[in-house]
Structure 1
């Protein structure tokens, strides 16, 4: 039986790009997997902050609305748009935050308007100001709210934080709606007018209603006094969202010494409240804006007293707590906001990438080693086929065919390029080719001698 033309094994002659290919096909997939994992962490676990957020403030002529507009100006410097939505006050602000259908991210909320259940589902970025409750009445010597039993009292408009706080304090003193005490839904100038015209016996003013100018006008009216909360400390124990503050003598008018004596007041604080989904970077930016707006000294506060992390009703957020204790992060101190945000988010990649890259560093060398050796092992398969053919050859034509195959293997091997670290395997392969060639010659000589 004659041997057919030698079937050459697949041994490519062009090895110019073998090393580059090896690196590409071993490290490439690992690098791609790390890049995909990093991108997922970067965009899904720590998404970029939105460029537009919305705050529910107060009536357009209120201090809440003024504060919100000032926040908006400061955030605009950093490329963030803060939309200011007017409202009826703290009660509506709270309801908007709790309603998932409302597209509200944060709001200014006065203490005393939230239940424990509602407060637990929101977060606070800190207290930003006092809202003192000031009670004016006709007569003298009033030191307890229980003494207003059976009187006519203006306690604030429906839906206002003033009204809700007034009702709670009156109820604590045994005065409830529907009893002998007549309650009026008026505040501000309207309530003051009713007091001056003797239509009511007392008025509860707070926030924008208790302006310095209005209080001076009321105190000029004969027969009208301001109530001294001598039990202010007790109120702060019963109602944890209240603080005790004082109006020192002459603070309203030094020339006429108004008030003439220290007046003790109780005051809830206004908190900057947000949904838990607020981005941490925006949390820092908002607190920074609040520091600029509320950090100045005033009649009721010292410079730098607000904002602070003393949250009365809503749990202080972790991001806000971190900011108050350690300030802005390094990147935010030295870089523009958006660039700092990218750098800060990039740090999030370090942990997952580190977890992935160390196993990868062990896998890649093994894959590379296997790929380089696999090309060498391919020659051993062809060489083994030649050796087996030598054991079965029966004529000179078959011997010549095997020699052609062996020459082809050696010719292809001459073009093979491998890293220096694997040169030993290449030279061992050359020795084995020489071994098979010598064995082929030995088989040929043996066959010739037998003839």
Structure 2
């Protein structure tokens, strides 16, 4: 059986020897390309959100849930808000990868210099100025006589509210302000120890929802909201529609005009592009529906942000999911999209190799036969022009040499499709043997 198996129609050994070096070279090139391109995102991302019970915190949980579907672990870290998030992103020693940042928190040039990118605008977060009904707040100038909580320094509210006061020619030093976190500030307002408080948040925040339903607490109507949006490019004029809070109780009882920056997702520019794609997809799933202040499909988008939008996110919002991701799982589509240059290069390399390898294989197999022709030719050269006195010694020696060659040739393992080459060699060995015998007989 072993002898039969030695003679097959195909030689795997010769094939491996032929394509082995090229296969190793291609594999090495693919490995280095893979390491360079790094098509798969990291398995963990650190997300800075906001204060507990804030809209940022609630949305952070939703992003963690969406990313977990792709095997990405999301570590949520609370913060004071937009300003602290921006500071953490600018801090090289911070482990924060991505965070919520309010529009108007930085300038385009500063963001570029800091290496920050936006993954898109997500939702409006209006300025909510809640006050006790007894204060009867009709105009912002009345705040000079009130105790107002403007939020912690780490949030974007103090900076934003200061700009609003300045636009109304109100000296911030004449307003009695406090900088409590959202929850304790709400407690102080309900206890009557402060007159008003300011939030800048999506309506999803639990405290916003509660205060909108709390008797004795009123929401300030920014009747000049359109003018604010013209003066401050990062602000939009939005309307809280009548009855949107509670249709059965007709809350609120009228339309409220509000001014609103937008919340954006901001990351460092070295964030893995595949992770940018995943987060953009999650953003569409979380923020793509209709809301209190936007129509379905309005968010997320690449507008309302002074931070450069990541090209992958901008393309996703403009064109939708890439073609391959519509038909294949994300990991497969992402690998092909990221590695397509390598795949094309391999195709360009394999096509000519497919024409070269068959002749190389044939040459490799035949070389096992052809190399013995060198030995055979050496025998012929040895018997040429042998002096008469040495013929009796040389001819028998070459016959023994031919027997050794023939024994070695008989051990050659060769595919059956090349058997004619082997039998031709054996016939040539026999031909040389007959010639030596004939020369020996003719000389005697």
Would the TM-score normalized by the shorter structure come out above 0.5? yes
Q: Give the alignment of 1:22-101 within 5 angstroms.
A: 22-101=14-93
Q: TM-score, normalised by structure 1?
A: 0.76
The separation in 1 between residues aligned to 2:241 and 2:31, in whole angstroms, is 59
Are positions 1:367 and 2:360 aligned together? yes
2:374 to 381, 386, 399: 381
CA contact (8 A) 1:240 1:312 kept: no
Instruction: Quote the residue 1:128 is aligned against.
Output: 122
The separation in 2 between residues aligned to 1:310 and 1:164, in whole angstroms, is 22
The separation in 1 between residues aligned to 2:320 and 2:435, in whole angstroms, is 81
Q: Give the alignment of 1:136-151 within 5 angstroms.
A: 142=139
Q: Number of residue pairs matched?
A: 424
CA contact (8 A) 2:221 2:257 kept: no
CA contact (8 A) 1:52 1:80 kept: yes
Instruction: Quote the residue 2:400 is aligned against.
Output: 404
**In structure 2, do the counterparts of structure 1 residues 302 and 64 end up closer, same or farther at CA, with 3 Å as the change threshold?**
same
**Greater displacement, 344-353 / 267-276:** 344-353
**In structure 2, do the counterparts of structure 1 residues 437 and 284 end up closer, same or farther at CA, with 3 Å as the change threshold?**
same
1:52 Cα deviation after fit = 2.3
Q: TM-score, normalised by structure 2?
A: 0.77
**What is the root-mean-square deviation in Å for CA atoms of aligned residues?**
4.2
**Greater displacement, 360-369 / 384-393:** 360-369
Q: 1:286-311: per-residue Cα shift (whole Å, max 9, x none)?
A: 33433443344332222343333335
Secondary structure of 1:32's counterpart equals: helix
Q: Give the alignment of 1:14-413 within 5 angstroms.
A: 19-120=11-112, 121-134=115-128, 142=139, 154=148, 155-171=150-166, 181-182=174-175, 184-186=177-179, 190=185, 204-207=198-201, 211=208, 213-214=210-211, 226-229=221-224, 231-232=226-227, 235-248=228-241, 258=252, 260=254, 263-329=256-322, 350-393=343-386, 394-413=390-409
Secondary structure of 2:67's counterpart equals: helix
The separation in 1 between residues aligned to 2:38 and 2:82, in whole angstroms, is 31
1:258 Cα deviation after fit = 4.8
CA contact (8 A) 2:54 2:206 kept: no
**Greater displacement, 426-435 / 300-309:** 426-435
**Greater displacement, 344-353 / 389-398:** 344-353
**In structure 2, do the counterparts of structure 1 residues 408 and 252 end up closer, same or farther at CA, with 3 Å as the change threshold?**
closer
1:443 Cα deviation after fit = 4.2
Secondary structure of 1:226's counterpart equals: coil
CA contact (8 A) 1:383 1:433 kept: yes
Secondary structure of 1:228's counterpart equals: coil
Q: Which runs of 5+ in 1 are unaligned?
A: 1-13
**In structure 2, do the counterparts of structure 1 residues 313 and 331 end up closer, same or farther at CA, with 3 Å as the change threshold?**
same
Secondary structure of 1:112's counterpart equals: coil
Q: 1:177-231: per-residue Cα shift (whole Å, max 9, x none)?
A: 56xx44624476848977997977x86542259835535769867xx96331254
Q: Which runs of 5+ in 2 are unaligned?
A: none
1:107 Cα deviation after fit = 0.9
The separation in 1 between residues aligned to 2:171 and 2:431, in whole angstroms, is 110
Secondary structure of 2:384's counterpart equals: helix
**Greater displacement, 316-325 / 106-115:** 316-325
CA contact (8 A) 1:57 1:65 kept: yes
The separation in 1 between residues aligned to 2:250 and 2:395, in whole angstroms, is 127
**In structure 2, do the counterparts of structure 1 residues 209 and 243 end up closer, same or farther at CA, with 3 Å as the change threshold?**
farther
**In structure 2, do the counterparts of structure 1 residues 46 and 359 end up closer, same or farther at CA, with 3 Å as the change threshold?**
farther
